[in-house]
Amino acid sequence: MRSGPPWGRGGGGRPPWWPEGETSPWSGGPNWRRHGRRIARRIGCFVGLALLVVLSAIFGVVWLLLSAFGAVSSAPFDTAVAVTALVLGGLAIVIAILVLRRLAAPVGALIEGAHRIEAGDLSARVPVRGPSDLRSLARAMNAMSSRLEAEETHRRSVLADIAHELRTPLSIIRGQAEAVTDGIYPADAEHMAPIVSATESMEMLVDDLSTLTLAESGALQLHREPIDVAVLVNETLGAFGAEARAAGVQMTEHIDVDLPPIDADPGRIRGVLGNLVSNALAHARPGGTIRVEGAAADGSVLLTVRDDGTGIPAELLPRIFDRFVKGPSSTGSGLGLAIVRDVVEAHGGSVTATSTQVDGTAITLQLPAARSR
């Protein structure tokens, strides 16, 4: 259940449909309060003018009626004042009606749009018209509803992708378990192995989703310390040595001399580098080469993993760090590079990728160098 101040009248908190962790206009930011006060002052001036006009008109009418019945002096000056007040009052009433009509339509559209968004219609848009403040408010509301609609579409897509990724291991587990239960397969290691493997795949998917969620919410805990890049690369390549030999792939490294250590969480960065090397092995050609490079650059360390594989399709390259994006030959969940991006950015770094079908793929991490003590 959502905590925090209530939204709406007397509240001021986040609306229930506004994304968690995002600052909404209703939270009372200085820009919103300033524009709100300007709009309130303008509407107050218009209402005050309308009341003044109505009172002037009433005064003029009453004065003329009293003069007609002799209740007050009907001197020419008094009559002229009353007639003038009546004429000015009538003109002011007309002007006030026109102004209020000009305000009523855009304000009504804003209210209707807000009710539609509150009811869950995130496709609602309001016309941009009226005074400048109301036009600004309409544009802000349209931008908000567009963003909410995009977030909702993304959320549904992610849920669909998660369901798809879970369906395969669950089918394996159920099929094997039913076969063992019905006596079709014996409950031996050979027939239990697919169940264990599918369970491990589900566990990895859940761990990956947990890491992504923590990174995006800013709750990913990092235990930073200076890390020797050469040691990190040697340990990672050593862990994949047997797999590389089996695939006929050669792994090399080139780390600049006097390369400063990086300021990072050892466990997280080992996972990031291991993910990149694993991807490179999965797409490397038999007899190909994977090269890991380390270089210094303006207070940062550039760590690059290169392979001479088939490369990433050009249409897929701009989206490879998004969730569940993977090539047609990929067997993973499509979360690995998204985790790489989020973990590196949580360290204050960045990640880029280049790829061609001729030269293969190079993914470069820019990580902060550890400060000398």
Total residues found in the chain within this entry: 373
Can you read off the two tokens belonging to residue 25? 């206009």
Q: Within a 13 Å sphere around the CA of 45, how many CA atoms are in the beta-carbon half?
A: 6
Task: Kindly report the pTM of this predicted structure.
Answer: 0.58
Strand-pair partners of 289: 250
Q: What are phi and psi of 5, to 5 degrees?
A: -65, 150
Whole-angstrom CA distances from 103 to 34, 98, 127, 202 are 19, 9, 13, 57
Question: 171: buried, middle or exposed (CB in 10 Å: 19+, 13-18, 0-12)?
Answer: exposed
Strand-pair partners of 294: 255, 303
Angle at 327 between CA 324 and CA 333, to 5 degrees: 35
133, 38 contact by CB (below 8 A): yes
Q: Which fold has domain 225-368?
A: Heat Shock Protein 90 (3.30.565)
Residue 8 is predicted with a pLDDT of 46
Question: 22: buried, middle or exposed (CB in 10 Å: 19+, 13-18, 0-12)?
Answer: exposed
Residue 349 is predicted with a pLDDT of 92
Per-residue pLDDT of the chain (373 residues; tens, 9 = 90+): 344 444 444 445 555 545 555 555 545 555 555 555 666 666 666 666 666 666 666 666 666 666 666 655 555 555 556 566 666 666 666 666 666 666 677 777 888 888 888 788 888 888 887 777 777 888 888 888 888 888 787 777 777 777 777 787 888 888 888 888 888 888 888 888 888 888 877 887 787 778 877 877 777 888 899 999 999 999 999 888 888 898 899 999 999 988 999 999 888 899 899 889 988 888 888 888 999 999 998 889 999 999 988 888 888 888 888 877 776 666 666 778 888 898 899 899 999 999 887 788 999 999 999 876 5
What residues does each domain of the chain span? Answer: 25-150, 225-368
31, 137 contact by CB (below 8 A): no
